[in-house]
Amino acid sequence: MPRTELFPSIDPYQTGLLQVDAVHTLYWEQSGNPRGVPVVFLHGGPGAGASPTHRRFFDPSHYRIIILDQRGAGRSTPLGEIRDNTTDHLVADLEHLRTELGVAKWHVFGGSWGSTLGLAYAQSHPERCLGLMLRGIFLMRRSEIQWFLYHMRTIFPEAWTNFSDFLPEDERGDLLESYYQRLTGADHGMRMAAARVWSMYEGACSTLLPSPELLSASGEDTHALGLARIEAHYFRNNILTPENRLLIGVERIRHIPAVIVQGRYDIVCPIATADELRRAWPEAEYVVVSDAGHSAMEPGIRAALVAATERFKNVT
């Protein structure tokens, strides 16, 4: 039987800061086997940052595990910075880091926004990708953003009411713009208050069953500010052109071994999007977890992802 439990906790054997331009410095780390098969972990959000738990999806005896916090996220600085922060910047950052670390090719592992960035990176640099492990597919289209802002209330009306009611009634007609103005305004207290409400809305909708632990983490200052500011920035300013760019671009990567893991009851990134990607990319393995929502920490999602990293040991 393939392994389905997370691997034991480990510490990095190397950490560093990579200055990618005059504004942004990125945190990165390596753990596992320094001579192992490289895999890069792409966190969600955008803006959520990575955590020590993310190292545990990979067998540390086999993989050279590379994790970074993307622009403005987690331990990268400045926290929540939206200047010079676009999908193309993040793709270029991955190439910068790959070159800096002397990696010829690597596996790409990403969920939610990490699946967006993983697809964008692979389509720009297919020759650098050994394989793709993607979860909770998000393709950065207006319809998906509108779903997040307005239509998740059909399943989570209480969470959406808290999200909407944070704003004055006369500003609720454009939730994104109203939040964006607060998240980028000069009032630090207002920025943090708006960030916590935004982040906790997403956290409340991310699991099939309530998760107090996830909700508590969603309200933590660093996580909330990076996630909310950068998500609002991307949703407002960084729609891909054309919108179906990542579906069209499958032609460049269909030869790369890939697995798509999707929760049947994912409300943040509904399964319809993953199904579109599956139909555009029938060569990819498609795993639907029948009793899970969005979070990578849901038991079924976690098990499917670990099983995928185990199977991909054969892809080198």
pLDDT digits (tens, 9 = 90+) for 255-278: 999 999 999 999 999 999 999 999
In whole angstroms, give the CA distance from residue 164 to residue 145: 15
Structural domains in the chain? 14-141+240-314 (3.40.50.1820), 142-237 (no CATH)
pLDDT, one tens digit per residue, over 236-248 is 999 999 999 999 9
Q: What is the pLDDT of residue 250?
A: 98
Q: Which of 24, 26, 55, 27 is nearest to 39 (CA)?
A: 55
Place 75 in a pLDDT band, splitting at 50, 70 and 90.
very high
DSSP letters for 24-56:
-EEEEEEEE-TTSEEEEEE-STTTT---GGGGG
CA distance 299 to 6: 10
- Catalytic residues, by residue number, are 112, 266, 294
CA gap 217, 203 in Å, rounded = 8
The mean pLDDT value of the chain amounts to 97
Cα dihedral 43, 114, 158, 80 sign: positive
pLDDT surpassing 90 at residue 298: yes
- Cis bond before residue 78 (omega within 30° of 0): yes
CA–CA dist 60, 41 (Å, integer): 14
